[in-house]
Chain A
Amino acid sequence: MRRYIARRVLWGIALLFICSAVIFVIFYAFPSADPASLRAGRAATPDQIERIRVSLGLDEPIYTQYWLYMKNLVLHFDLGYSYQSNIGVRTLILDRLPATAFLVSGAAILWLAAGLPVGIVSAVRPRSLMDRTMMVTSLALISAPVFWLGLVSLYLFADDIGQLLPIFPGVGSYIEANSFLEKAWSLVLPWFVLAAASAAIYARYMRSSLIDTLSEDYVRTARAKGLSERTVVMRHGVRSAVTPIVTLLGLDIGTLLAGNAILTETVFNIPGVGRLVATSIERSDLPVIQGVVLFGAFFIITFNLIVDIVYAYLDPRVRYE
């Protein structure tokens, strides 16, 4: 088990290097705009732009740029400085991360709390009216784009423009919030919007996984023992059916922390990692993009590792392989 984890960690580090190289090459091969002229502003002379270019190190060949970047990263955990603001990328990301983490963790709790019970109830009585209603609802939620759902929720429930029940804080309220409770309250709508599609996906996943599990021989054995249906479903069914959900959850949280909550963050103006990467792409701010991508890869690899360890805990057969 320890060797297995060590191997996974080494492979994760190698992946991080590959990611950083790929993003460098992509950025170099497809320059969307000249970072130096963006930095210099509208009325800049070519001479000024050239000086900025030199000061940012953009006149060096790509491999030199990459080498310097990686050297600083490995030796000083220095992700470089934003071309646009000169603020350290590490600082930029760490400033944004709490908002994203708060958004994602709250939403994850919400979608698990909603999705798993719905999936279980549907699986226990497949094709019942309840099952069909829930599955049609979930399909609708999966199909609704996040930005649309976000705007609709604001239109109905935001305390400034809400038409139906204007009680929840609207756009930009997270920035103004100070205490933990205020921040949490300002995230209620974003949590629901971000959790909606995932709750639906998890419900469907849980349903099909549990339906499969309930047809297993060991579930028949559990019934033949005389266990109550509740014990059969929860202890013998759900216990097995939940393992693929763990994989899904690890990936989802990893990608969301890596900036995948970009739409929700944009609609509700939450200053998170997603917003950061969106503005950085607009401004060709390579160090920031590179930093976010590396952070993202780090999260995805870390959560995958956590998933593997949890798996070994859940399924004794994995421990001995």
Chain B
Amino acid sequence: MSLLEVSDLRVQFETEDGVVQAVDTVSYEVASGETLGIVGESGCGKSVASMTILGLTRGPQTTISGRVMYEGRDLLALGADDLRRVRGNDIAMIFQDPLSSLHPFYRIGDQIVEAIRTHQDVSRAGGRARAIELLDMVGVPEPSRRVDDYPHEFSGGMRQRAMIAMALSNEPKLLIADEPTTALDVTIQAQILELLNDLQSRLGMAVILITHDLGVVAENADRVLVMYAGRIVEAGSIDQIFHDPGHPYTWGLLGSLPSLDLHRHEELPQIAGLPPSLLAPPAGCHFRDRCPHAFDQCMKVPPLESRLPDSPEHRDRCWLTAEQKHDLRTVDGRIGLQAPGARAS
């Protein structure tokens, strides 16, 4: 049974320029203990979709519809008080920039104690002891001393460890990690991801790992959602997404990854054009304008469904047939998206 079930989630923001459809018909499930990767470029709606689960996008300018089922309850329908009991308790979240995500005026320990005491009936001293324990667990050295430090006295990686300690303080069943390593340098990135993996297997929680980095997903996720312009365009296991990608956007993403057999002076392939404005996205497939394989049918929105009967969990949002995809996605011997002009030849 799945832990979290998101169905037909739509999020709209009213802005001065018009209505932004930030998230459009997003549906997915997260099973207990698994890691779900959500990839996509900036502004594709991956963060908004995840923050909406916890009601963090609620506001007078926001319209949210769909369902987010967690333990038999629809989180979207919960009142503010009931939702607060879920936040940080059943479902916790960590963010991209650990410096700006920690309050600069309060000690690290006090911020963790605050998280603990919001959901558990423990004394201040008990909370502090637990905070030290948590800091130790996430690998902060000398935790009993550093618990009294302020965020600016921590290094970037240590701050993210502290954020993780805070998120795990109430032993959540689901951790949403929104670009947890983007603001960190590469060696620290690897350490933080390793820590997350380790904690996940120890604590048995599920993780939604949001990132724009396919490499991060490949190493850490069990399943992947590829998002583009507010919609999920492809969903599948790591193997399926990396070795048998169905959607041309995924081909483009994979094709633009640097690889060791690429010649040194060869330019890295990229997807031509820019993502559409979510104020007025094109009718039909959102990727249509950038796709060299688009045809008449793409004026209609393709459903997110499986093209091959033997792997029903591998779904994509593209009208091309499985055979066409297989033929079209190879460019220069690798998976990639053809240049826009290449189609004519």
Residues of A at the B interface (CB closer than 8 Å) are: 127, 216-218, 220-229, 236, 239-240, 314-317, 320
**Distance (Å) between the CB of A218 and the closest chain B CB?**
4
In the complex, the answer to whether A221 meets B84 with C-beta atoms within 8 Å is no
In the complex, the answer to whether A224 meets B56 with C-beta atoms within 8 Å is yes
In the complex, the answer to whether B87 meets A225 with C-beta atoms within 8 Å is yes
| Cβ-closest chain A residue relative to B149 | A316
Distance, CA A226 to CA B92, complexed state (A) = 9
**Distance (Å) between the CB of A146 and the closest chain B CB?**
36
Distance, CA A236 to CA B118, complexed state (A) = 14
B119 interface residue (CB < 8 Å to A): yes
In the complex, the answer to whether B93 meets A218 with C-beta atoms within 8 Å is no
In the complex, the answer to whether B150 meets A316 with C-beta atoms within 8 Å is yes
CB-contact partner of B95 in A221, A226, A236, A239, under 8 A: A221
Count how many chain B residues have C-beta atoms less than 8 Å from C-beta atoms of the other chain: 30
In the complex, the answer to whether A236 meets B103 with C-beta atoms within 8 Å is yes
Distance, CA A240 to CA B104, complexed state (A) = 9
The 9 closest A-B pairs by CB, nearest first: A226-B87, A226-B88, A217-B100, A225-B88, A218-B103, A224-B93, A217-B101, A225-B115, A316-B150
In the complex, the answer to whether A218 meets B84 with C-beta atoms within 8 Å is no
Known: A218-B104, A220-B51; 16 extra A-B contacts, CB below 8 A, are A127-B60, A217-B97, A220-B95, A220-B101, A223-B56, A224-B93, A225-B88, A225-B114, A225-B166, A226-B86, A226-B88, A227-B114, A228-B84, A236-B103, A240-B104, A315-B105
Residues from chain A with a CB closer than 8 A to the CB of B84 are 226-228
**Distance (Å) between the CB of B61 and the closest chain A CB?**
9
Residues from chain B with a CB closer than 8 A to the CB of A223 are 56, 87
CB-contact partner of B105 in A127, A225, A316, under 8 A: A316
Distance, CA A240 to CA B105, complexed state (A) = 8
CB-contact partner of A317 in B56, B85, B152, under 8 A: B152
Residues from chain B with a CB closer than 8 A to the CB of A229 are 80
**Distance (Å) between the CB of B168 and the closest chain A CB?**
12
Residues from chain B with a CB closer than 8 A to the CB of A225 are 87-88, 114-115, 118, 166
| Cβ-closest chain B residue relative to A315 | B105
Q: Point out which of A222, A226, A236, A317 has the most chain B C-beta atoms below 10 A from its C-beta.
A: A226
Residues from chain A with a CB closer than 8 A to the CB of B104 are 218, 240, 315-317
Residues from chain A with a CB closer than 8 A to the CB of B163 are 221
**Distance (Å) between the CB of A242 and the closest chain B CB?**
11
Distance, CA A212 to CA B87, complexed state (A) = 23
Distance, CA A226 to CA B88, complexed state (A) = 5
Distance, CA A227 to CA B89, complexed state (A) = 11
In the complex, the answer to whether A224 meets B105 with C-beta atoms within 8 Å is no
Beyond A225-B87, A316-B150, is A239–B105 a contact (Cβ under 8 Å)?
A: yes
**Distance (Å) between the CB of B237 and the closest chain A CB?**
29
In the complex, the answer to whether A227 meets B118 with C-beta atoms within 8 Å is yes
| Cβ-closest chain A residue relative to B95 | A217
For residues 141 through 185 of chain B, which have their beta carbon under 8 Å from a beta carbon of chain A? 150, 152-153, 163, 166
Residues from chain A with a CB closer than 8 A to the CB of B93 are 224
| Cβ-closest chain A residue relative to B89 | A226
**Distance (Å) between the CB of A251 and the closest chain B CB?**
22
21 contacts between A and B (CB under 8 A): A218-B101, A218-B102, A221-B103, A221-B163, A223-B56, A225-B88, A226-B84, A226-B87, A226-B88, A226-B118, A226-B119, A227-B114, A227-B118, A228-B84, A240-B105, A315-B104, A316-B104, A317-B104, A317-B152, A320-B152, A320-B153
| Cβ-closest chain B residue relative to A228 | B84
B54 interface residue (CB < 8 Å to A): yes
For residues 43 through 84 of chain B, which have their beta carbon under 8 Å from a beta carbon of chain A? 51, 54, 56, 60, 80, 84
**Distance (Å) between the CB of A1 and the closest chain B CB?**
15
**Distance (Å) between the CB of B339 and the closest chain A CB?**
39
For residues 105 through 151 of chain B, which have their beta carbon under 8 Å from a beta carbon of chain A? 105, 114-115, 118-119, 150
Query: B312-323, CB under 8 A of A: which get 1 and which 0?
Result: 000000000000
Residues from chain B with a CB closer than 8 A to the CB of A317 are 104, 150, 152
In the complex, the answer to whether A218 meets B115 with C-beta atoms within 8 Å is no
Beyond A226-B119, A317-B150, A317-B152, is A221–B102 a contact (Cβ under 8 Å)?
A: yes
**Distance (Å) between the CB of A219 and the closest chain B CB?**
8
In the complex, the answer to whether A221 meets B101 with C-beta atoms within 8 Å is yes
CB-contact partner of B103 in A127, A222, A226, A320, under 8 A: A222
| Cβ-closest chain B residue relative to A218 | B103
Residues from chain A with a CB closer than 8 A to the CB of B100 are 216-218
